[in-house]
Structure 1
């Protein structure tokens, strides 16, 4: 199984609440992350214990320039951000280097795998027998 790891514990709540549904990774990661792949979403630092949050399926993988990140890309990566400059600053902190508008990033969107979505449970509930 593949792992989609996040270093910062601030993401745990966002992930669990379904507010974080994407990650923006520096560089072209299209060979590493593929649509339809099941991943274990974890939080923790390299060479340290990691907390398993949930399993997810990768919904899409899109490679683009930083300048082409949409407001939706930014919000799905970090619901607290609205502006591109906030995302650039955050990426600089994570990667420890200057990030330019020309840098390549990969937007990986994912969906949590649950035992049975509530809306599916409702649709599968048998209807009451008719009284003819």
Structure 2
């Protein structure tokens, strides 16, 4: 089993959030699933589309909502007995990706990676040895 390492002390909290979101297969599948529902989706839709158990999807969906990556049409305190429609908060996803790319590759890398300039393995990529 891979050894878990402690994050560097200078790693910004938002980078930790990006790693939490994008470094987890279940969370990635939930975000990918919700991205396919422009008007949002219910928990049952996500369970059906991802073929993951409800008991797996629900806590990850709640964490994604808490982190701002997923939004809901009904606030948490008002959900008793009501169906909640979830959707991806695309601006938050872009913010986390931008933060991670900037932290990992440097300030100039965002346009390169997220702006379409990176099309494969190149020796001139930011951060390339």
What is the TM-score when the length of structure 1 is the normalising length? 0.28
- Higher radius of gyration, 1 or 2: 1
What is the TM-score when the length of structure 2 is the normalising length? 0.29
Higher strand residue share: 1
Higher helix residue share: 2
Higher relative contact order, chain-length normalized (CA < 8 Å, sep 6+):
1
